[in-house]
Amino acid sequence: MVRQSEQATGWLRRSRPRTAALLWSLLIALLLVAPVPGAEGGHGWFQTLEALGADKLVHLALFAVQALLVWRWLHSAGLRAPGLWAVLAAVAYGALTELIQRSLPARHGDLLDLAADGFGALLGALLAHRWDRAG
């Protein structure tokens, strides 16, 4: 017979990957749709990042982590082909954030940002798969 505390612990352990993926999604939303400091004058830190092309690296990193966390969630839930679904979910989420940015003042949707999101998602899913095979 399984005790209630063991059942609760098992539920918590199974919900961690989902919680991590959802919290990371929230962080991405906050970062990608929040007002940009200095956007009105064009001399803020964001414009410097964008001018250097470093914003694409930020997109790549954000969505690599996103896909890795979604992969863990789906894998722990027993879904087949978690890498494919993780990449598709991350790219769809990236497309949604770019569409939302198009409607915000001082923001703009960018296909190159979406491409960076996609490459990041692919990288994250590949890393998750490799770690799973190694461990």
Q: For 72-128, how does the pLDDT look when each residue is reduced to its tens digit (9 = 90+)?
A: 999 999 999 999 999 999 999 999 999 998 888 777 888 999 999 999 999 999 999
Q: In this structure, is residue 96 part of a structural domain?
A: yes
Q: In this structure, is residue 128 part of a structural domain?
A: yes
Q: Give the H/E segment covering residue 116.
A: helix 111-134
* CA 14 and chain centroid, separation: 20
Q: Is 128:68 a contact under the CB 8 Å cutoff?
A: yes
Q: Is 124:66 a contact under the CB 8 Å cutoff?
A: yes
Q: In this structure, is residue 120 part of a structural domain?
A: yes
Specify the number of domains making up the chain.
Answer: 1
Domain that holds residue 82: 53-135
**Average pLDDT value for residue range 9-26:** 80
Q: In this structure, is residue 24 part of a structural domain?
A: no
Q: In this structure, is residue 92 part of a structural domain?
A: yes
pLDDT over 70 at 66, yes or no = yes
**What's the token pair of residue 17?**
């990957």
- Confidence at 57, pLDDT banded by 50, 70, 90: very high
Q: In this structure, is residue 44 part of a structural domain?
A: no
Phi-psi sector, 35: left (phi>0), alpha (psi -120 to 50), beta:
beta
Q: In this structure, is residue 30 part of a structural domain?
A: no
**What's the token pair of residue 65?**
């982590």
Question: Strand, helix or coil at 81?
Answer: coil
pLDDT value for 44: 55
What's the CA gap between 49 and 113, in Å, rounded?
13
